[in-house]
Structure 1
């Protein structure tokens, strides 16, 4: 029986490894139900690795990960059942190009429910309405702007009414106006649908206005947890370097992608 008093997400002393090396270690995190939590950090800091642990894609090398009081299972059947309660908005949208917007949204309903077609059609219309795209159901992904495609992907992630939403870099590739629309929509949907939302991003200033809680990941660990106001006021060197975008500081900048002569400059 699920514990209704448990946090939406709870991590205890978690270590996450990839490719034989430790990416994150000593991770303790509690995400309250109904909150919007921003998981911030520079590129390559391990934000997406953390997301993989929440969805069960990556099994922790140490520690425990719980979602709504249930330890994330390793058995595939149980894991698939848990994933129905988690909606994920991928940074690449993941829309199928040969399906219309409406058909993309209907896909999880057709795969995971036995609802009749008229009911599915009604639910698709409701999801499109929720993201402000009521008239876009018959459009194909190639006919959508970047912001519209992101909203269709959001509607699809919400199709099964998951209580937990995870957004993986939701603003990637969007212009400032579309970014504002998406962040406003995330905040509004979280409140109106009673969701718990985790936003994994490096877009600090766009994300903090809708967040209740923020954490910063750097150098393989959580270096800050608190409210957005506390984050802005922090005098921690790691936090200040990240917020100000400074190239020099305690957060190492990976220059491994540069040619040897260029890296030496």
Structure 2
């Protein structure tokens, strides 16, 4: 993959779920090394876009390229591609009967044949990177929400993926923990040479660490540009989202039963 080529390239993408079009006419190029914020109201289709990037959802139209090649449909090839994508889920996904260190070691034990001493050293390095080396022997129930999120981040980084995807990384976190996690996203992106896509509706916590922002609403991309340009936008749709206005071009109420569902109803 060329250093100058986008790490993610999407063209003419349409995504359907249950016979409904969730996203349409999506064009996106993510340069290497950037932190890109994918913003939008709950139910706007942000997680659906992630499903296309990881191969969980096949496009109804258009193309999706990740790490320099089309997302494969063959399961073996798809699993190989996913080794290069670290995903931090909003629910953490930590196994409760494993310690923090054992959770981080899981991808290394599953996908490599490295000897135990090497895995143990790598686990210590990953936990140190997120500031939790002292919590290696703690179980998830013994960790705060912010600490558990950082352990999950260390696990997502275990295989040294060039691309990190964060799905609502601030869900359930207090403002201090949110600030710690987002500062960590930026620092790790720069120090490890990553590219990061942060999918979130937490605007004010995310924009300070982002290089580029896109806003998804009403089934498509309604803004793409720098965080400063987003903040300065006078577009009524963008302003409604940024300012939290209940009335505007983004519908809030769900369609009545029996009515045709709108793209906004799909996550």
TM-score, length of structure 2 as denominator length: 0.95
1:53 aligns with 2:52: yes
* 1:17-39 CA-partner distances (Å, limit 9, x unpaired): 01110000000001010000000
1:209 aligns with 2:199: no
Q: Secondary structure at the match of 1:121?
A: helix
CA distance in 1, matches of 2:114, 2:228: 45
* 1:73-107 CA-partner distances (Å, limit 9, x unpaired): 00000000000000000000000001000000000
Dislocated runs of 4+, deviation >2 Å: 2-5, 254-258
Equivalent residue, structure 2, for 1:25: 24
Equivalent residue, structure 2, for 1:244: 243
Contact in 1 for aligned 2:186/2:209 (Cα 8 Å): yes
Distance 1:79 1:140, change over 3 A: same
* 1:1-56 CA-partner distances (Å, limit 9, x unpaired): x3443201010000000111000000000101000000000000000000000000
Relative contact order (alpha carbons < 8 A, sep ≥ 6): 1 or 2 greater? 2
CA distance in 2, matches of 1:194, 1:254: 42
Q: Secondary structure at the match of 1:170?
A: coil
* 1:183-240 CA-partner distances (Å, limit 9, x unpaired): 0000000000000000000000000000000000000000000000000011111100
Equivalent residue, structure 2, for 1:73: 72
1:193 aligns with 2:195: no
Equivalent residue, structure 1, for 2:121: 122
Contact in 1 for aligned 2:214/2:224 (Cα 8 Å): yes
Q: Secondary structure at the match of 1:242?
A: helix
Q: Secondary structure at the match of 2:213?
A: strand
C-alpha root-mean-square deviation of aligned residues, in Å? 1.2
Q: Secondary structure at the match of 1:12?
A: strand
Q: How does 1:94-105 map to 2 (within 5 A)?
A: 94-105=93-104
Contact in 2 for aligned 1:17/1:60 (Cα 8 Å): yes
Q: Secondary structure at the match of 2:159?
A: coil
Q: Secondary structure at the match of 1:166?
A: strand
CA distance in 1, matches of 2:230, 2:199: 16
CA distance in 2, matches of 1:207, 1:135: 27
Equivalent residue, structure 1, for 2:5: 6
Contact in 2 for aligned 1:170/1:201 (Cα 8 Å): yes
Distance 1:140 1:82, change over 3 A: same
TM-score, length of structure 1 as denominator length: 0.95
Return the offset for 1:68. Answer: 2.0
Equivalent residue, structure 1, for 2:134: 135
Return the offset for 1:256. Answer: 5.6
Contact in 2 for aligned 1:3/1:68 (Cα 8 Å): no
CA distance in 1, matches of 2:136, 2:18: 41
Contact in 1 for aligned 2:4/2:31 (Cα 8 Å): no
Q: Secondary structure at the match of 2:59?
A: coil
Q: Secondary structure at the match of 1:129?
A: helix
Return the offset for 1:257. Answer: 9.5
Contact in 2 for aligned 1:97/1:140 (Cα 8 Å): yes
Return the offset for 1:163. Answer: 0.3
